Amino acid sequence: MASPVSICSNALLKLGAGTIADFTENTVSATLCANLWPQVRDAVLRAHPWNCAVKRANLAPKTTVPVYGYSFAFALPADCLRLLEADTAYDYKVEGRDVLGDENPLYIRYIFKNEDVASYDTLLVDALTAAMQAELAYPITKSTAQQEASWRLYSEKLKLARSVDASEDSPDQFGSNSPLLDVRGI
């Protein structure tokens, strides 16, 4: 079963370095992994609406209202990495850690900071391993060629993982009240 430490250890192995058993080890590799893992995980999760990292929420408005333009401000959930959509008939805007809108309550879908690596798809684990390999490449090997090759590998792994993850959902359908259909006169 994958874990943050196993993902980092596999990345280190692919770079020709020794593995780690824990982020708290007193080694350069463990220190690098402990520092880089949270940022790399969050960046990879934010880059695509992975099925394992999507949540829905019902937001209540904050007591302070926007100065102009919108009737309500809603605080994004603390674990929100990226807002995917708000179920509203009106425009909305993300400003800082707030969503501004004119509907109350506001229903949203978002990417959350899923720290449960056991819930990740194997291709996402593979992409995260490649991402860690790319981040660790120069500090471990001191080779820009290895770093560049690792970034190319990550790009390929990410592309495959995104494609498979996206194919598990049904395609989005335009509703009968879609503005795109209105423009076409349908």
Confidence class for position 10, pLDDT limits 50, 70, 90: very high
Global pTM reads 0.86
CA pair distance 143, 123, nearest whole angstrom = 27
**The token pair that represents 81 in the structure block:** 């990495």
CA pair distance 126, 7, nearest whole angstrom = 8
* Residue pair 130/97 in contact by the 8 Å Cβ criterion: no
CA pair distance 149, 172, nearest whole angstrom = 35
**The token pair that represents 2 in the structure block:** 């994958």
Mean pLDDT of 84-105: 93
Confidence class for position 89, pLDDT limits 50, 70, 90: confident
Q: What percent of the chain has pLDDT over 70?
A: 90
pLDDT value at 178 more than 60? no
pLDDT value at 125 more than 90? yes
Give residue 155's pLDDT: 97
Q: What percent of the chain has pLDDT over 90?
A: 87
Give residue 179's pLDDT: 53
Q: What is the pLDDT of residues 126-163, one digit of tens each?
A: 999 999 999 999 999 999 999 999 999 999 999 999 99
Confidence class for position 88, pLDDT limits 50, 70, 90: confident
Confidence class for position 1, pLDDT limits 50, 70, 90: confident
Give residue 171's pLDDT: 64
CA dist 125 → 14, 28, 57, 183 (Å): 14, 23, 26, 42
Give residue 101's pLDDT: 95
Length of the chain counted residue by residue: 186
CA pair distance 136, 12, nearest whole angstrom = 7
Listed residue (81, 84, 86) closest to 101, CA to CA: 86
Give residue 176's pLDDT: 52
Residues 6+ apart with CB under 8 A from 183: none
Mean pLDDT of 59-63: 96
Mean pLDDT of 118-128: 97
